[in-house]
Amino acid sequence: MPTFSKHEIESLALMPLADIMGIARRIKLVNRNTSFSLCTITNARSGKCTEDCAFCAQSARHASRSPEYGLKPVDQLVREASNAQKTGATRFSLVTSGRGIESMRQAEEIAERIAAIREQTGISVCASLGIARCEHLEILKQAGLSRYHHNLETSRDFFPSICTTHTFDQRVNTIRAARKAGLEVCAGGLIGLGESREQRLSLGRTLAELAVDSVPVNILVPIKGTPLEGPPRISIPEILRTIAIFRILMPSIPIRLAGGRDSILKDFQGMAFNAGADAMLIGGYLTVRGRAVEEDLAMVEEIRKIWSEECGGGLFSEE
Ligand code: SF4
């Protein structure tokens, strides 16, 4: 994987948008051909979170409203995973609100659900359970978990502006613990929090250094009652530029459009797949509904046909 100096990345970021998008798309096609990855998440436990992440509707410290419920039962999660699989998702992720995995008992409860989903559907299971220690993650790995999701959210220096109840280093340590437990890692961030372009570059550089296996790019959807409510804080061109830079920094892994794909990018989401993105969440997000799965699948088919022409034929799928 090529490494870029800080200066080289800064120069790339200054290129005209069309040029950097063209470079990023070529890098995507050369390294990953027409592959496209689809995953679905479920909010397996919602609300009442002790943490104060400024963007999040599930923090008990904000005035926002989000559903509140405990860990979903095994049979409900198996049903949801099976439905996700039928719509074309190859990965199903269990996401829980809260600071992280606090005890062996909590890890075992999640492990029971992972094992049941694996046994009854065969779909790849991911999990996003917050800050976690290696011994807890090993239990999940043994139950059949393939990938742990843990966003860095933003750059190291901007992180204290969006969260004061835990640190950037705790997030990095969780990513390292997941690796040590033998799990793949899905880690990205949330852009449009009020961070600078330089801070977005710094996030991309850190993700590349950590050699993560998948990078979700979320765009802030400002939610009423959170400290970041109000109009969007990032422009469409800047979002596209960020995606292109992430692709250039990380040529051979999925760059996954997640939250904000519909509600912020709207009619421009196709351009994101022209800027190096090649994966997405389908079927809605944690506290924001997504658009119809059929529409998404039709879009993916058309995008892959365009890529295929550019690559000289052939469609490749991705697990
Ligand atoms: S992002 Fe996670 S840790 Fe932060 S407030 Fe929301 S649920 Fe809690």
Q: What is the pLDDT of residues 195-207, one digit of tens each?
A: 999 999 999 999 9
Residue 312 pLDDT: 73
Q: Is the CB of 56 under 6 A from ligand 1?
A: yes
Residue 310 pLDDT: 87
Alpha-carbon distances of 282 from 245, 290, 295, rounded to whole Å: 23, 7, 10
Q: Is the CB of 129 under 6 A from ligand 1?
A: no
What is the average per-residue pLDDT within 298-313? 88
What is the average per-residue pLDDT within 100-115? 97
pLDDT class for 288, splitting at 50, 70, 90?
Answer: low
Q: How buried is 143 (Cβ within 10 angstroms: 0-12 exposed, 13-18 middle, 19+ buried)?
A: buried
The residue ranges of DSSP E strands in 194-318, in sequence order, are 215-219, 255-257, 279-281
Residue 107 pLDDT: 97
**Res. 319: pLDDT tops 50:** no
Residue 200 pLDDT: 96
Amino acid at 209: E
Q: Is the CB of 44 under 6 A from ligand 1?
A: no
* Spatial distance between the Cα atoms of 180 and 173, rounded to a whole number of angstroms: 10
Distance (angstroms) between ligand 1 centre and the Cα of 219 equals 16
Q: Which residues contact 90 (CB under 8 A, 6 or more apart)?
A: 37, 38, 39, 123, 124, 318, 319
Long-range Cβ contact pairs of 74-77 (< 8 A, separation 24 or more): 74/112, 74/113, 74/116, 77/42, 77/44, 77/113, 77/116, 77/117
Residue 174, number of CB atoms within 10 A of its CB: 25
What is the position in ligand 1's atom list of the atom closest to the CA of 57? Answer: 6
**Res. 316: pLDDT tops 70:** no
* Spatial distance between the Cα atoms of 41 and 34, rounded to a whole number of angstroms: 23
What is the position in ligand 1's atom list of the atom closest to the CA of 100? Answer: 3
Domain definitions of the chain by residue range: 6-311
Q: Where are the alpha helices (DSSP H) in 54-196?
A: 74-86, 104-121, 134-143, 159-162, 168-180
* Spatial distance between the Cα atoms of 277 and 240, rounded to a whole number of angstroms: 9
Share the mean pLDDT of the chain.
92
* Spatial distance between the Cα atoms of 9 and 20, rounded to a whole number of angstroms: 11
Distance (angstroms) between ligand 1 centre and the Cα of 177 equals 19
The best mutation among 41, 52, 58 to test binding of ligand 1, ranked by most ligand atoms within 8 Å of the C-beta, falls on 58
* Spatial distance between the Cα atoms of 39 and 293, rounded to a whole number of angstroms: 11
Architecture of domain 6-311: Alpha-Beta Barrel (3.20)
Q: What are 146's two structure tokens? A: 């393939």
Q: Is the CB of 53 under 6 A from ligand 1?
A: yes
Would the pTM count as exceeding 0.75? yes
DSSP state of 40: E
Residue 105 pLDDT: 96
* Spatial distance between the Cα atoms of 243 and 1, rounded to a whole number of angstroms: 18
Distance (angstroms) between ligand 1 centre and the Cα of 226 equals 12
Residue 277, number of CB atoms within 10 A of its CB: 27
Q: What is the pLDDT of residues 137-148, one digit of tens each?
A: 999 999 999 999
* Spatial distance between the Cα atoms of 125 and 89, rounded to a whole number of angstroms: 11
